[in-house]
Amino acid sequence: MRISKYVVMAVMAYCILVCSLLAFGSQKPLGVEKTLEGLSNELNLNWESPNNSRVFQDTHLPEVFAVITSSDSSERALKLNVRINCVNENETDTVRQKEYTLIVRPNKKKRVNVADFKHDKFGVYEAEVCLAENKRVLIEKKVRWAYLPSMPTEHRWERLGVNIHVLRDHNIDELKELGINWCRVDWHWALLAPSNLENIAWDILEPQVKLARKYNIKLLVCLNTSSVPRWARQSSMPSPYFNVKKFEEFAFKILDKYAQDVAAVQLYNEPDWGIAEQLGQKNLKLSKRQGHDWRTFLSKWINQISVQLRKRYPGILIVGPGFPGDASNPGGWKRLLEPPYNIGKSLDAFSWHNYPAPRNAPPDSGSGSISDMGKFLNWARPKVAGKQIWITEQGYNTVDNHIVPFNDSKRWGPLWPMGVSEEEQGNYLVRLFLLEWQAGLDKTFLFHLAWDDPRSEERRVGKECRSRWSPFH
């Protein structure tokens, strides 16, 4: 199987949010536990669920089976006590208590559907089961599942997307499996128009657009100005700055052809890296003395180009600018939502990139936690004048913390340890998405969906990483 079942769980977790029923007061994984320890007196109790162990049940009469097996040589008379709670936001309701009398024969399975009752509430259910013999407790276990309403087979979740640098044929099956139809792709200015506007590399764009059109994929196109072609640089300013008029001509030429195929456009990508860090502190100060403050330049450009794009392409959402960092430490870019810059009022969706620090921190701890995000969202809402707030990059890295270069704690500082296991990754993503959406985030893009082809750009960037779902590829 090409994609971990835990990651598929992360994508499907959106369903619970639709009903606004967030669970989890602890860091347990959500789902039917496939294999549990618990051998006691030749007895074993495991869990089964139909349809390849789906943990998200779309019927109000789900099936989650407790399976008891015995290796004893004789029959055993047992009692199975079941208590089921519906665990939703700020409440835990006991919805069912029942005792089953069981005769378990040697080397035979006894299956009991602990979810055998009408589920009236959407959300997460937890069963506490106790297997006893002659009033003596033998095994105690817990299991969770989620009940959600039926959805059309082809339904794609609107609040979840993935990053794919270049959309290719082999991504389509994965997108269909995950039920995702929002993709963020990179259309680099310097790559598409390296010499002039008369020689656009349409051969790079056309295959992607045809795929998106054929499979109804919504494209968030990052018109990336972090790579500026030489012919478009602003001669009177340091190199990270660009000629605004020439970018406008580039954007219009691209979007005039593909306006019907592009759902949203992101302006810039991580500008405080693309401009501020490329300049360096010395040049930043020099640039500012020359009247070229990067925040002024960026905000003026975004406010102007947003008006032009919206007027010319009313069906395309304007998103930006994809600042790096986390919600607890937004740094200098946070000022761009305030006067005199006010970029949030020009955009349809303000976006930033939120990665945890350290990189293995669960969603509700560490720097950039869901608590930090909730505070940031409450602060930012008035600044964006009712517009949306998106995260266009986030994820958990699955590199081995002991391999080079990820074993260097001094190098990575507060980001280290850098990686989690794939199981942790899946569990954290489930919890992260649910918590974010409950906090009011409008859309999330996971970084990123890579392909196993060793020749691809994604694999070259991060060949050390085993998982294709990762901030480091």
Q: What is the mean pLDDT of residues 214-226?
A: 89
pLDDT of residue 36: 33
Measured between alpha carbons, how far is 225 from 269 in angstroms, rounded to an integer?
7
Q: What is the mean pLDDT of residues 446-473?
A: 42
pLDDT of residue 58: 54
Least confident of 90-99, 205-214, 242-251: 90-99
Residue 15: pLDDT over 70: no
The pLDDT mean for the chain works out to: 75
Q: What is the mean pLDDT of residues 410-428?
A: 82
pLDDT, one tens digit per residue, over 333-378 is 778 888 888 998 899 999 988 888 888 888 877 777 777 787 888 8
More confident residue, 30 or 192: 192
pLDDT, one tens digit per residue, over 143-177 is 877 665 554 444 446 788 999 888 888 888 878 77
Structural tokens at position 95? 């919805």
| Reported confidence tier of residue 59, pLDDT bands at 50, 70, 90 | low
pLDDT of residue 349: 95
Residue 43: pLDDT over 60: yes
More confident residue, 178 or 321: 321
pLDDT, one tens digit per residue, over 105-126 is 988 889 998 888 887 776 677 8
pLDDT of residue 265: 97
Q: What is the mean pLDDT of residues 140-145?
A: 82
pLDDT of residue 414: 82
Residue 87: pLDDT over 80: no
Beta bridge partners of 224: 188
pLDDT of residue 375: 80
Residue 277: pLDDT over 60: no
Q: Are 167 and 208 in contact (CB under 8 A)?
A: yes
pLDDT, one tens digit per residue, over 290-321 is 556 778 888 888 999 999 999 999 999 999 88
Residue type at 393? E
Q: What is the mean pLDDT of residues 37-59?
A: 58
| Reported confidence tier of residue 205, pLDDT bands at 50, 70, 90 | very high
Q: What is the mean pLDDT of residues 197-205?
A: 93
**Global model pTM greater than 0.85:** no
